[in-house]
Homo-oligomer: A and B are copies of this chain.
């Protein structure tokens, strides 16, 4: 008999349900008896003991369903160790609920922040298996995270739509793609959508280079330019600021986001009309793409197997096309960023894409 708790934490993304279905089906199809407790709204559910006992039927028909049937919430790691407004020790509360329900293991689906807390729970002695969920593909220890490819599709589709308008009107268009610290999503959507300029958090930009790239296009007769800009794109000057100085600067930032600042600068220097489009949260939503469905199903299945085998303390990920288990302590707190010298960047440059550097 296995009793497992399950929760999804952090920003939602595609294929969360797919992955949970994978875990549940694998366990329910096994010879062992299984009871699954679904904690509601992320770690909150575990802290406050809000859960429901999941039936076989709960996992039926959710393969293609976006979002998470358990709900989620953002519970920043730095607040996890602080007592709540009623003085409750959250870590202790999670442990107590775990022991009270006599759980054998927690299955936790989440991104970076989620993994820090998951690792903390492991250090506190709980059995934990995690699954790498994020549209950012920035989790250390796995080549890929689920949600990423679905988000690439949505962001690319936005660029595709903008393409027809940009080329009809002869304008500069900026499509702002999700990603505060890491540029995988922008990089892939940018290449896929045929963006002319791609700005990533990992490669600080020089506005002069951007303007040059636009003008070079105009000189060649291409009277429109499309920029794929990550939310976290940063200028070379700002990249030199200390964390504190940058924070200070952003306090009085007059733009909704960096795309609008870049737009204004381009417009000022070139006189060309610039428009900004922000697909925003749509990038997290909708049905997972087939790639993510297969991938999340495989991960879920292997996670279920790990638990059946009594192997805990791992994130289930993929490396070199094989599903692998990665010790949680290796994952937590690290980011997988775009290397400015990576071959994909070189290839993009050979295709004529400017990174503004």
Contacts and interface: CB of A to CB of B under 8 A. Distances in A.
Interface of A: 8, 11-12, 14, 16, 22, 25-26, 29-30, 41, 63-68, 71-73, 143, 149, 152-154, 156-158, 160-165, 167-170, 173, 188-189, 191-194, 256, 275-286, 289-291, 293-294, 297-298, 301-302, 304-305, 320-323, 343-344, 347-348, 350-352
A290 B188 contact: yes
Contacts of A143: 321
A189 B290 contact: yes
10 contacts: A72-B169, A157-B282, A161-B283, A192-B297, A276-B280, A297-B348, A298-B344, A301-B347, A320-B321, A323-B347
A336 to B, nearest CB: 12
B281 A188 contact: no
A281 B165 contact: yes
A212 B193 CA distance: 41
A26 B351 contact: yes
Contacts of A323: 343, 347
Copies held by the complex: 4
Contacts of A278: 277-278, 280
A116 to B, nearest CB: 20
A181 B160 CA distance: 27
Contact of A293 (B191, B277, B293, B350): B191
A343 B297 CA distance: 12
A66 B281 contact: no
Given A165-B12, A290-B156, A279 B281 contact: no
Contacts of A322: 343
User: A-side binding surface: helix, strand, loop or mixed?
Assistant: helix
Nearest to A26: B350
Q: 6 smallest A-B Cβ distances: which pairs?
A: A161-B285, A66-B164, A67-B164, A192-B290, A12-B168, A161-B282
Contacts of A283: 161
A351 B30 CA distance: 10
Contacts of A256: 256
Contacts of A276: 280
A132 to B, nearest CB: 16
Contacts of A302: 343, 347
Nearest to A221: B57
A240 B279 CA distance: 33
A353 to B, nearest CB: 9
A305 B279 CA distance: 35
A72 B351 contact: no
A238 to B, nearest CB: 22
A322 to B, nearest CB: 7
Given A152-B294, A304-B350, 16 more contacts: A11-B165, A64-B194, A65-B164, A67-B165, A73-B169, A156-B293, A162-B285, A164-B286, A192-B291, A277-B281, A278-B278, A279-B279, A289-B289, A291-B291, A302-B347, A320-B320
A183 to B, nearest CB: 14
A154 B161 contact: yes
Nearest to A319: B320
